[in-house]
Structure 1
Amino acid sequence: MDLDMGINEDMERSWSLLSWVASSVMVLGGVVPYVPQYLEIQHSSNTEGFSTRVCLVLLIANILRIFFWIGKQFELTLLLQSVVMILTMLVMLHLCCTVQSTIRVSTKQHRFTDLDLRYFWSWSRFEDYLLFCFVFTVLCAFVTFLFLNSMLFVEALGSLAVLSEAMLGLPQLLQNFQNRSTRGMSVKMVLLWMAGDVFKTTYFVINESPAQFWVCGTVQILLDVAILLQVLYYDLDTRAKLG
């Protein structure tokens, strides 16, 4: 009996440790793929290989996810993940704004307050992106607390949040196609994205997170595969031209 209790206690400790590690990876793992991209932009002073639209998608998705959590409390880990991802995207935007300001030839400055849709998300200062996030957050807060008692609204909010995140790779996919190049990207980088999305989706399924989350993860994996194929194709095309 004592032996069985000891084994059960060891298993519980091991499971708790594994759960803690998995939660830590969920919170911080999403940042890892952007580290080499950040270093590449910083080193080359070139933002061509990174689409700031990715930041837009992730900022919107994670701000919405925070309000989804307010309406329907799920794992605290996923809430912390959203906060960390928002901070990461702001850091990436700050770097891109800094780099672009040093190479910008035109003296024309574009501001969020201009309300010019032609330059939406192509503003000149980092402060304009912060202002957009603030206005969007205030608007979401107002609407959420207005309809917080409606379960239909809460579920729709969650679906919108994860649908936005599911489209994460789409801006990068379109930019690669438009430029006919994946400069600044590598197979290793995309495989890191894919590994993260596979782990994330598995975590959602094991922890029985709301269905919106694992659907989001599945779509992200499919987009990762498409981007990986782009990297391989354009790399072969470049080598063929040089050879």
Structure 2
Amino acid sequence: MDAEVVLQEDTEGSWTLLSLFASSLMVFGGALPYVPQFQEIQRSSNTEGFSTRVCLVLLIANILRIFFWIGKQFEFTLLLQSVVMILTMFAMLHLCCTVQNTNRVSTKQRRLTDLNIEYFWKWSAFEDYLLFCFGFTVVCAGVTLLLLDSVVFVETLGSLAVMFEAMLGVPQLLQNFHNNSTKGMSVKMVLLWTAGDVFKTTYFVLNDSPAQFWVCGSVQILIDVSILLQVLFYSQNTRTKLG
């Protein structure tokens, strides 16, 4: 009987460690794909291959998710993941602004205060991105406080959050199409996106997370695969031209 108790405790301990590992991977795993892209931009001093609108999509998605958590307290792990992702996107934007300002030939600065839609999310100063996110957060906070008791509003907020997150890869997909190339984009980043999306979609299903989350994950996987197909297509085109 004692042996059975010890075995049961060991099994429970193993599951606890596994659960802790999975939770840690959920919190920090989303930031890992941006490490190779960060290094690629640092190495090449060129940001043209990376779409900063990926940062826009993820910032909006994760700010909305935080307010969704206030209205519907799902796993705390996912709340922490949003905080880590927001900080990661700010780090990417700061690097892109630094590199672009270093390489800029013209002295003309594009600012948020110019109110020119043509330059939206193409600003020269990192502070403008912070200011935009602060304003967006204040608006979301005000609306959420007013409508927090509405189940429809809270569920809509969650749907919007995951809808934006599902579109994560779309700006990069369009950027590659516009450039007619995937040069400057880290393929490792997209491979890690794919692995992460498969992992988190499985995590959502196993943990009975709100349906919005696993639907979002499934859409993301499809977009990741599309970007990887672009890598194959454009690299094939390059070989054909060289041949």
Counterpart position of 1:190 = 190
The question of 1:159 aligning with 2:159 is answered yes
TM-score (norm 2): 0.98
**5+ residue gaps, structure 2:** none
SS at match of 1:58: helix
Q: Which amino acid aligns with 2:75?
A: E
Deviation at 1:110, TM superposition (A): 1.6
Instruction: Write the deviation string for residues 20-68 of structure 1: whole angstroms up to 9, x where unpaired.
Output: 0000001111111110100010010000110000000000000000000
- In 1, are the aligned partners of 2:36 and 2:188 still within 8 Å (CA)? no
User: Offset of 1:87 from its aligned partner?
Assistant: 0.2
Change (3 A) 1:38 1:189: same
Q: Write out aligned runs for 1:48-67 (5 A).
A: 48-67=48-67
Q: Report the CA distance between 1:148 and its aligned residue.
A: 0.2
SS in 2 for 1:66: helix
Q: Which residue is 1:225 aligned to?
A: 225
Greater Cα shift, 109-118 or 71-80: 109-118
- Worse-matched range after superposition: 179-188 or 194-203: 179-188
Matched residue SS, 2:137: helix
State the distance in 2 between where 1:109 and 1:48 align: 18
| Structure 1 stretches lacking a partner, 5+ long | none
Which residue identity is paired with 1:31? A
**What is the deviation of 1:104?**
1.4
> Structure 1 residues 114 and 188, CA, compared in 2 at 3 Å: closer, same or farther?
closer
**In structure 2, the residue corresponding to 1:8 is in which secondary structure?**
helix
| 3-state SS of 1:184 partner | coil
Equivalent residue runs for 1:14-29 within 5 Å? 14-29=14-29
Could you say what secondary structure the match of 2:8 adopts?
Answer: helix
3-state SS of paired residue (2:148): coil
Q: What CA distance in whole angstroms lies between the structure 2 residues aligned with 1:189 and 1:37?
A: 6
Q: Partner residue of 2:96?
A: 96
Aligned to 1:71: 71
Structure 2: distance between partners of 1:91 and 1:210: 29
Residue 187 of structure 1: how far off its partner (Å): 4.1
How far apart, in 1, do the equivalents of 2:78 and 2:190 lie? 22
Q: Which residue of 1 aligns with 2:115?
A: 115
Aligned amino acid, residue 224 of structure 1: D
Partner of 1:5: 5
Q: 1:44 maps to what in 2?
A: 44
Which residue of structure 2 lines up, in the alignment, with residue 169 of structure 1?
169
Q: What code does the residue aligned with 1:32 have?
A: L
Provide the residue aligned with 1:129 in structure 2. 129
Other structure's SS at 1:92 match: helix
Q: How far 1:186 sits from its partner (Å)?
A: 4.8
Aligned to 1:146: 146
Equivalent-residue separation in structure 1 for 2:47 and 2:183 (angstroms)? 10
Aligned AA for 2:27? V
How many residue pairs get aligned? The number is 243
Give distance in 2, aligned partners of 1:114 and 1:193.
Answer: 35
Q: CA deviation at 1:190?
A: 2.0
Corresponding position of 2:238: 238
- For the aligned residue pairs, the C-alpha RMSD in angstroms reads 1.0
- CA deviation vs aligned residue, 1:182-229 (integer Å, no higher than 9, x gap): 012354432211001100111111111111100000000000000000
* Conserved 8 A contact 1:158-1:212: yes
Structure 2 counterpart of 1:131, one-letter code: L
Q: Which amino acid aligns with 2:22?
A: A
SS in 2 for 1:128: helix
Q: For residues 110-165 of structure 1, what are the alpha-carbon distances to aligned partners after superposition, in whole Å with 9 as ceiling and x for unaligned?
A: 21122221111011100000000100000000000110000110000000000000
